[in-house]
Amino acid sequence: MTLIRIILCFILPPLAVFFTVGIRMHFWLNIVLTLLGVVPGMIHALWVVARKTDRVD
């Protein structure tokens, strides 16, 4: 599932963030960043996915 999220970071960054954290602040922030420019949205999505997969819940 993590590989799919990483691929989604490049295709649809908000969707990758949604699958990782749900509808929370990071999701809305990623939508704003993606609207401002696709690259900032991708970077933020990769950061959220990488950070969430490091932690053990």
pTM of the model: 0.88
What is the per-residue pLDDT across 16-29, written as a single tens digit (0 to 9) for each? 999 999 999 999 99
Residues of the chain with pLDDT under 70: 54-57
Please measure the distance between the N-terminal and C-terminal CA atoms of the chain and give it in whole angstroms.
16
Joined together, the tokens standing for residue 39 give 């690259």
Residue 28: left (phi > 0), alpha (psi -120 to 50), or beta?
Answer: alpha
State whether the Cα torsion 40-6-13-53 is positive or negative.
negative
Quote the DSSP letter at residue 12.
Answer: -
